[in-house]
Amino acid sequence: MSFSKSIALDDNELGGIGPAASIAQEFDGDFLSALKAGDASAFDNLITRYSSDIYRLLMRLTDDRDEAADLTQETFLNAYRSVSGFRGDSSLKTWLFRIAVNQSRNRHRWWQRRRRGSTFSLEDGVGTSELKYGETLADECPNPEQVALQNEQMRRLRIAIRELPPVYREAIVLCDVEGLSYEDIAAALEINLGTVKSRIARGREELRRKLCGY
């Protein structure tokens, strides 16, 4: 299956810190039927609506532009293959997030088996997408001291988020950055509500602990 719609994205599409603003409205039943029938134009529409959200999420989880782009392609290909089994028990966006998270986990395990999965440069200029959002927080006319302070805060946050265990990072990103409800996070991660709340609480506490150490 090849899509006519490109999934290539640039950094300007990553947006600001906080819940990502989605332009998409949930599609109607006819659209879902078209997806399940393998309608290529329907999938092009799906990509148009959600590729930026998926890429942004994967950038937050992988900290790698090329990896995020590759996994975005895989997410939509996987969605095409499996949409016939989509029961509508969550939104399409949540369903796509579930696929994207699983793709990220699979790739992480693949790298770990090759002893590359846990290798990071804390001074890497790419950073995670969460921190790229912080670049949009500057005042209208920041002075050099404010810019330096913001850069230092971003650096500290980048390090702290990178060092979170993956299960906490996933929960924090979906809740505090994507703005998903606990119920949607449970659906995306395929865990129960209590586990969602626990991971978010522990992830936030771990972030506070790390940031207080600076």
Q: Which tokens is 111 given?
A: 């790298």
Q: Is position 174 within any domain?
A: no
**Inter-CA distances, 126 with 73, 129, 185, Å:** 20, 9, 26
Per the structure block, which two tokens stand in for 87? 């029961």
Query: Would 147 be classed as within a structural domain?
Result: no
Domains identified in the chain, total number = 1
Q: Does 211 fall in a domain? A: no
* pLDDT at 119 (0 to 100): 45
Distances (CA, A) of 2 to 46, 61, 78, 110, 147: 14, 26, 12, 25, 44
Q: What is the pLDDT of residues 138-174, one digit of tens each?
A: 445 566 777 777 778 777 877 787 789 999 999 998 9
Calpha distance 130→155 (Å, rounded): 11
Residue 110: the pLDDT is 67
CB 177 within 8 A of CB 133: yes
* Residue 52, domain member (yes or no): yes
Instruction: Identify the CATH number of the domain in which residue 56 sits.
Output: 1.10.1740.10
Domain that holds residue 63: 21-119
CA distance 61 to 214: 23
In a domain, 77, yes or no: yes
Q: Are 35 and 43 in contact (CB under 8 A)?
A: yes
pTM of the model: 0.70
Q: Is residue 99 part of a domain?
A: yes
35-88 pLDDT tens trace: 999 888 999 999 999 999 999 999 888 878 899 999 999 999 999 999 989 988
Q: Does residue 66 fall inside a structural domain?
A: yes
Report angle CA 54, 182, 100 to the nearest 5 degrees: 20
Tell me what the pLDDT averaged over the chain comes to.
77
Phi, psi of 213 (to 5 degrees): -80, -10
